[in-house]
Amino acid sequence: MDEDKLRIIEKTAYILSLVSILVWAATPESIQVLFKFASYIMLSLGFFMSGYLDRKEKSPILLVIAWVVITVNIF
């Protein structure tokens, strides 16, 4: 996969995560579990794709720390 396609997938995952969090705030608790799971999958996909992009400022340790913090906050 080339870098442009990975960037598009990464941005799409982040945008979908933000949209799902906004929708999650307005839904009943029984449906919120599905949104939590979907958010986790999309954020994980975004972070996974970020790890494969060639960036000078990329730090894998910070990427893992951010993923752990967001995962804990989702669940």
One-letter amino acid for residue 58 of the chain: K
pLDDT at position 57: 55
pTM: 0.45
C-alpha–C-alpha distance, residues 14 and 38, integer Å = 12
C-alpha–C-alpha distance, residues 11 and 57, integer Å = 17
pLDDT at position 21: 73
pLDDT tens readout for residues 22-65 = 776 777 777 777 777 877 887 777 777 766 655 555 666 666 77
3-class DSSP assignment, residue 58: coil
Instruction: Report the pLDDT averaged over residues 1-6.
Output: 70
pLDDT at position 51: 65
Q: What tokens does 6 get?
A: 């990975």
Contacts 24+ apart (CB under 8 A), 18-22: none
pLDDT at position 62: 67
